[in-house]
A = this chain, B = another copy of it.
Amino acid sequence: MIATIFSSPQEAEQAFYRAFERAHIAEMMAVWAEEEDIVCIHPGGARHAGLVEVRESWRQIFASGQRLKFRLAGARTYAARTICVHSVLEHVSVVGEQRSPTPLLATNIYVLTERGWRLFLHHASPVPGGQAPEETPPSILH
């Protein structure tokens, strides 16, 4: 297998969602930084930290057989020399279902490693009321 080198955070992000849509575990793990402090939080879920836990979380998701389709919107970015933060709205559809896409909020953090840009942290959470976040009035539940 030839390891892919992502030359920008955007390339890594495209590969992340492509691997997610394809439910392809090797492609998914090729996007992550090979560091023990990587963090992955799926919507409504616990935290998975380190390569072993993160890989297992994706294996379980992909094993469900459900195929998802993502449309991203509303990106907010903080870019530094070796790290890039993306806050994005994920509109997630289940392939083969007619329901409106589910809106989720994701914080994605990419870091520049010796092997190019990789994902260091993915934190996703549901948006209340099933509305697109742009249309949602402030809803404070802290």
* Complex contact A142–B43 (CB within 8 A): yes
Knowing A42-B141, A82-B80, A138-B53 touch, does A47 contact B87 (C-beta < 8 A)? Answer: yes
Residues of A within 8 A of B (CB): 37, 39, 41-49, 53, 56-57, 60-61, 64, 68, 74, 76-78, 80-83, 85, 87, 89, 105, 107, 109, 111, 120-121, 123-128, 133, 136-142
Q: List 17 A-B contacts (CB under 8 A).
A: A37-B77, A37-B78, A39-B76, A42-B140, A44-B126, A45-B141, A46-B128, A47-B74, A49-B87, A78-B83, A80-B80, A81-B82, A85-B120, A87-B121, A105-B123, A109-B109, A124-B142
